[in-house]
């Protein structure tokens, strides 16, 4: 997919990855960009930043609520006629293990997993009717590997990958393209909490959101499933599938190394 003249929706667009993607799509010549987030001030700022480059619209929405995702899609369709690319990007992080409260588990599940389901329900009918459309779902390298220090994040990002795979398998022969964005550490508000170097996810370096946007554009042009801003992730995936037990042993060593840092991060969220 070439972004020029396309209608794009980006959730989580008030800051970080979503803001960077919105700005890059505008510079690539998108016909229109709808920026969505729960942070109205951030949405307004992103829209102001790109308004001279494209038709920009801001819509406040909580992607963990289906009715708000549906309203976001309906408003964009009403204004621009169709959606070429829906970037389901918003996500949250919750530190801790199985003892994280059920309420917190449900919250991260709704935002990191169900938001992709809600987006697909809302946008696929019009895409399938046109016979074309693209879904870019932000997951994480944690969805392909794991996340030391956070069971909820690891589990939800694995589920996000699983859903993206299913979408590609089910609708790929009907004109629907699907990509899963799976970075390691990116300099955002999420990685700024606790260890500023991104913790274990930052072992291969902390990317700026603008660097990640470059990889997104390149991968969308190739229409490949995995978007890997950190190419090392592919090597780790191969090691994991080649010898699962050896890989688990290595992850246990990483867990031991970062246990104190992640415990402090969990405590900071209490």
Cα dist from 268 to 95, 106, 264, whole Å: 9, 20, 6
H or E element, residue 179? strand 176-181
Rounded-to-integer distance, Cα 162 and Cα 80, Å: 31
Rounded-to-integer distance, Cα 176 and Cα 132, Å: 5
Is 153 considered catalytic here? yes
Q: Is 132 left (phi over 0), alpha (psi -120 to 50) or beta?
A: beta
Residue among 153, 171, 236, 262 flagged as catalytic: 153
H or E element, residue 106? helix 102-109
Radius of gyration (C-alpha) of the chain in whole angstroms:
18
Would you please indicate which residues are annotated as catalytic (active-site) residues?
153
């Amino acid at each position: 997919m070439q972004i020029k003249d396309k209608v794009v929706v980006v959730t989580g667009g008030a800051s970080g990855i979503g803001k960077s993607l919105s700005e890059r799509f505008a510079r690539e010549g998108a016909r229109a960009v709808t920026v969505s987030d729960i942070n109205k001030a951030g949405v307004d700022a992103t829209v102001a930043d790109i308004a001279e480059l494209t038709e920009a619209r801001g819509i406040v929405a909580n992607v963990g609520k289906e009715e708000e995702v549906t309203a976001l899609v309906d408003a964009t369709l009403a204004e621009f006629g169709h959606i070429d690319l829906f970037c389901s990007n918003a996500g949250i992080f919750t530190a801790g293990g199985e003892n994280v409260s059920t309420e917190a588990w449900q919250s991260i599940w709704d935002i990191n997993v169900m938001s992709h389901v809600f987006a697909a329900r809302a946008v696929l009918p019009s895409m399938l009717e046109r016979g074309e459309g693209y879904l870019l779902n932000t997951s994480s390298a944690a969805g392909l590997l794991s996340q030391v220090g956070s069971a909820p994040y690891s589990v939800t990002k694995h589920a996000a990958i699983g859903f993206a795979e299913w979408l590609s398998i089910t609708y790929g022969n009907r004109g629907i393209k699907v990509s899963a964005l799976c970075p390691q550490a990116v300099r955002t508000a999420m990685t700024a909490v606790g260890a500023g170097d991104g913790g274990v996810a930052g072992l291969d370096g902390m990317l700026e959101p603008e660097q990640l946007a470059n990889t997104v554009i390149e991968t969308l042009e190739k229409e490949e499933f995995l978007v890997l801003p950190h190419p090392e992730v592919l090597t780790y995936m191969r090691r994991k599938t080649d010898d699962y037990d050896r890989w688990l042993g290595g992850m246990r060593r990483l867990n031991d190394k970062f246990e104190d840092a992640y415990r402090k991060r969990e405590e900071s969220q209490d």
